[in-house]
Amino acid sequence: MLLFFSCNTESVLDKEPEEPTQVMNLLKNGNCERWSTLLSGNKYYLDGWSLKDNKESVFREKGVVYEGQYAAKLCTPKSGITAFIGQSIYVHPGHRLRLFFRYYLEEGSENNARTYCYFGETASSNIPIDVLNTFYDSETLKIIRGGGYGLSTFPKETGVWKTFDYTIQVPAIAYNFVFEIRSYFGTTLYVDDCYVIDLDF
């Protein structure tokens, strides 16, 4: 089958990626705007996200924000504690997922933050990393376990908002996908406008 484009028609390959919208988003509260308090009322928790026991390492941020009123600040108080936000979604094998978010490394921070996403075979069983290595090459795997294609961590570009925007295919045996962003000791990371979009819907 042959495809033809007229000379005055912009090729799909030449177009900038579409800016995502919350309507497309598989994540709940991906824009980090909704926060709740417990009975004490002095701590805020990011609605829709699994923080587990965050050990006071994830905070509602009003000053360093990409857009809207709030962002999530990930800052671990000591070595051995990981600051992270995560969320699990159901996925369709073979579909393409677009992973998109904004992040900001505070000046003076080490480049010690990354994605730490994983796929599950069932709701309680993750696909092991050695099996994922049969689906992705080592550079592509760093999109979901690193700082982007071929990067172990986010680049050390501090004091400016950066965009993470990659597409990855869901493995044939995947049942769900856990989207997670982590920051380790010595790194203060701000996160805003997170999206996971199924491009094949």
Place of tokens 């089958």: 1
Distance CA 141, CA 143 (A): 5
**Residues near 5 by beta carbon (within 8 Å), at least 6 away in sequence:** 11
pLDDT at 43: 82
Contact 71, 64 (CB under 8 A): yes
Per residue in 80-90, pLDDT (tens digit) is: 889 999 999 99
Question: Tokens at residue 11, please?
Answer: 């090729």
Q: Is the pLDDT of residue 9 over 50?
A: no
Domains of the chain (ranges, CATH numbers): 29-198 (2.60.120.260)
Q: Is the pLDDT of residue 15 over 70?
A: no
Of 71-80, 95-104, 161-170, least confident by mean pLDDT is 71-80
Burial 59-82 (b: 16+ CB within 10 A, else e): bbbeeebbeeebbbbbbbeeeeeb
Residue closest to 104 by CA, chosen among 72, 76, 69? 72
pTM: 0.88
Mean pLDDT, to the nearest integer, of 35-44? 77
Per residue in 112-164, pLDDT (tens digit) is: 899 999 999 998 899 999 999 999 999 999 999 999 999 999 999 999 999 99
